[in-house]
Structure 1
Amino acid sequence: MDLKDIDLNLLVVFNELLMERRVSAVAEKLGLTQPAVSNALARLRRLLGDDLFLRTSRGMEPTEYASQLAEPIGYALGTIRSTLNRRSEFDPLTSDRKFTVGMTDIGEIYFLPGLMDALARQAPGVTVSTVRNTAINLRDEMEAGHVDLAVGLLPQLKSGFFQRRLFQQRYVCMFRADHPRFGDALSVAQFAGADHVVVISPGTGHARMDETIERKGIQRKVRLTVPHFVAVGHILSNSDMIATVPERYAMQCAKPFGLRYVPHPVALPEVGINIFWHAKVHKEPANQWLRGVVFELFGGGA
């Protein structure tokens, strides 16, 4: 097939269908009618000789061939978009750029206060939005140019991505400062006998810590499980429960919630917290600038 036979707009519709999985959502996003989207899909099906998407109860599911096309087409469209929108330089003082950053709720608690303070001084017109690493297909969204940076422990971002280490993260035990049974240290026996609040966060570094504790044969008395860290400070400050949390999260929460944290009695591995970006924005001035700000604020720590 010759490239002259392909209308680039058809590939744009294809890429959006991969993201949205519904004709109505793609039509709204691209400012088209639903018949126009359906017509574009029909043309692409004829050109490529494949159904590409099948209607199911979950929406438009890609065929095996469409899944094979997803990454190269997404990369190509992202490269074209990045090239057309590229500026020879980026001036943070005058820019009104909106950045989207992938991070967990812990990331929002730890990174955003310092980052937004720096942006208020260096780039007053720049805005930031965050997305949960576990709530979207982060790899696809970064390849498509919808997410500029991601921060965390993200082993799925390998081929096609750059990364830079910010710091090593260790885990600690946290509980209220006036806890009746625990002081400056915690034994394994005390840890096992305590009532625990546990954050269930699949696909994250914290999930790996929970798995390590279980592999060591330590049975915790789990009184409460929650899907995120946002409420943990409030919960611990009003109970005798304890929690295994990242140290930098504990640093942010200890004083505001009247908590304290001690070294973890279980030998847990440290995890590396990195900043990630896609290869196609490696030389993009605005992305380079934001990466530099993040590393200057948070990088280089052990």
Structure 2
Amino acid sequence: MNLASLDLNLVVALRALLEERNVTRAGRRIGLSQPAMSGALSRLRRHFDDDLLARVGGHYELTALGQVLLDRTSTACELLERLFTSQADFDPAVESREFTLGVSDYSVAVFGGDFTRILDREAPGIRVRFVQVPAGITETAGAVLSTLDGVIVPHGLIRDFPATELYEDGWVFLVAEDNPEVGDHLSHDDLARLPWVTYLRAYDSPAIRQLGTLGIEPRVSVSVDSFTVLPFLIAGTRRIALVPALLAERLRGIAAVRVMAPPYETVPLREALWWHPVHTHDAGHTWLRDTAARAASAVRARPIRSTDDEDPAVRSREG
């Protein structure tokens, strides 16, 4: 397909038609008259050799192809908007711009405070929006990155896209303070015997996979799509949970749990900011990446305190 032969205005019209499913409303949305919008629909139908919108009773519904194009058109429009808003120069002190980053609640808890404090000091007109990374990021990285300014996820989930290294973290276990089945130190037997609470998504998968090499199969009794609620699901129970050490430090004291060292050498978690190549040379995005790296330096420099003199679990983070 030769892009030079296409009218890219039809991409905007296609998105409006597929989302509104009404010619008049679609035209009003993008500033076209009803006849002009009908003409755009006719051209699109000829191009795709498909009706796209099919009348059912008194309203229109998407055809099978129209349904496929719905998500693709939205992604294409967002990528084009990001492409054509790229800047050669960027002064954070005077610019007004919003950046959207895909994150987990772990990333926001550990990294978000330092990052947004820099924005407050140096870029008062810059806004940041944190959104949850889709569960299928490993399989849909290109599509996700085309609609965001970047995602903050560990290595091992995304490949073949540019990234800025942020910080490295270790792993610790959470155990209820009143769990009589766990002594001063966790054992391999404890990990195999006790019920687990796990994070539902893929972020901890390298750490969980590592247990398999040790012959340990976690007995998962509860799974949840949030790291920060894990302490509340541990307190007062027999359950245990594997969590990043930096997060455990920030959650210290919010629930009656102990932070304990793993009985094995864990694989470190290496967090990075990943982005679509379309952003690489944009001055604003370059500033965003540099600022994220500066915020990560503060994360790396902050020491982790031990729970008490007898508990070395989080005296230093691993790696």
Q: Structure 1 length normalisation: TM-score? A: 0.75
Equivalent pair of 2:228/2:251 in contact (CA under 8 Å): no
Deviation at 1:246, TM superposition (A): 1.8
Distance 1:83 1:149, change over 3 A: closer
Of residues 276, 293, 296, the one that matches 2:294 is 296
Distance 1:87 1:61, change over 3 A: closer
The one-letter code of the counterpart of 1:113 is G
Deviation at 1:275, TM superposition (A): 0.9
Work out whether 1:153 is the aligned partner of 2:154: yes
Distance 1:293 1:176, change over 3 A: farther
**Number of equivalences:** 286
Distance 1:226 1:205, change over 3 A: closer
In the alignment, which residue of structure 1 is the partner of 2:244?
246
Secondary structure, aligned partner of 1:185: coil
Deviation at 1:99, TM superposition (A): 1.0
The CA distance in 2 between the partners of 1:29 and 1:294, in whole Å, is 40
Percent of residue pairs identical: 24
In the alignment, which residue of structure 2 is the partner of 1:139?
142
Deviation at 1:216, TM superposition (A): 4.2
Q: Which runs of 5+ in 1 are unaligned?
A: none
Deviation at 1:7, TM superposition (A): 1.5
Of residues 216, 223, 226, the one that matches 1:225 is 223
Work out whether 1:100 is the aligned partner of 2:100: yes
Work out whether 1:287 is the aligned partner of 2:291: no
Secondary structure, aligned partner of 2:198: strand
Of residues 60, 63, 68, the one that matches 1:61 is 68
Larger radius of gyration: 2
Equivalent pair of 2:164/2:274 in contact (CA under 8 Å): yes
The CA distance in 2 between the partners of 1:10 and 1:156, in whole Å, is 35
Q: Structure 2 length normalisation: TM-score? A: 0.72
The CA distance in 2 between the partners of 1:205 and 1:49, in whole Å, is 42
Secondary structure, aligned partner of 1:165: strand
Deviation digits for residues 131-174 of structure 1 (CA, Å, limit 9, x no counterpart)? 2212585532432xx31121112656444x31122233332211
Secondary structure, aligned partner of 1:256: coil
Secondary structure, aligned partner of 1:228: coil
Distance 1:122 1:100, change over 3 A: same
Equivalent pair of 2:27/2:37 in contact (CA under 8 Å): no
Deviation digits for residues 225-271 of structure 1 (CA, Å, limit 9, x no counterpart)? 22322321222234342101122221221233353322222554333
The CA distance in 1 between the partners of 2:204 and 2:28, in whole Å, is 38
- Compare 237-246 and 254-263 and name the one that shifted more: 254-263
The CA distance in 2 between the partners of 1:208 and 1:258, in whole Å, is 27
Equivalent pair of 2:187/2:263 in contact (CA under 8 Å): yes
Distance 1:238 1:99, change over 3 A: farther
The CA distance in 2 between the partners of 1:30 and 1:285, in whole Å, is 34
The CA distance in 2 between the partners of 1:39 and 1:158, in whole Å, is 42
Deviation at 1:100, TM superposition (A): 0.3
The one-letter code of the counterpart of 1:60 is Q
The CA distance in 2 between the partners of 1:123 and 1:235, in whole Å, is 39
The one-letter code of the counterpart of 1:10 is L
Deviation digits for residues 101-132 of structure 1 (CA, Å, limit 9, x no counterpart)? 01112112222222222222222222111122
Secondary structure, aligned partner of 1:114: helix
Equivalent pair of 1:21/1:61 in contact (CA under 8 Å): no
Aligned pairs (5 A) from 1:25-104? 31-32=29-30, 40-47=40-47, 55-56=63-64, 60-62=67-69, 74=76, 78=79, 81-82=81-82, 84-104=84-104
Query: Aligned-pair RMSD on alpha carbons?
Result: 4.0
Equivalent pair of 2:192/2:219 in contact (CA under 8 Å): yes
Distance 1:141 1:188, change over 3 A: closer
Equivalent pair of 2:52/2:66 in contact (CA under 8 Å): no
The CA distance in 1 between the partners of 2:218 and 2:29, in whole Å, is 53
Equivalent pair of 1:98/1:128 in contact (CA under 8 Å): yes
The CA distance in 2 between the partners of 1:246 and 1:178, in whole Å, is 22
Secondary structure, aligned partner of 1:293: helix
The CA distance in 2 between the partners of 1:187 and 1:90, in whole Å, is 53
Secondary structure, aligned partner of 1:130: strand
Deviation at 1:23, TM superposition (A): 4.6
